[in-house]
Amino acid sequence: MGLTAALIGGASGTGIHIMTNAMRKVPLSRSPWFHVGYFFVGCWAGNKYVAVERKMVEDINQIREDKGMPPMVGTNAWIRYSEPQK
């Protein structure tokens, strides 16, 4: 998920810069170093989102455990909410 989130975030960051250039009606390729900069900022944001979401699920499971409820479980496709029971 980390690589996918980074690539999606990077593409979003570059897209944001191109969109702002289009709205300002300047050439899309103006300041190309910002394309690269926004790509890396988007990669960081994509990875940070995954980490924040994982932490949130762990906190929710801790609260549910304190209340005597079963942990939140989901599919193993994207985020594993909890480790498999052994």
Gap between the Cα atoms of 63 and 79, Å rounded: 19
Residue 86 confidence (pLDDT)? 54
CA-closest candidate to residue 36, choices 19, 22, 17, 20: 17
Question: Is residue 13's pLDDT more than 80?
Answer: yes
Q: Which residue has the higher pLDDT, 71 or 27?
A: 27
Helix/strand/coil for 26: coil
The CB density around residue 58, as the number of other CB atoms within 10 Å, is 14
Whole-structure pTM value: 0.69
Residue 14 confidence (pLDDT)? 92
Average pLDDT rounded to a whole number, residues 57-78: 76
∠ Cα 69 81 84 (to 5°): 85
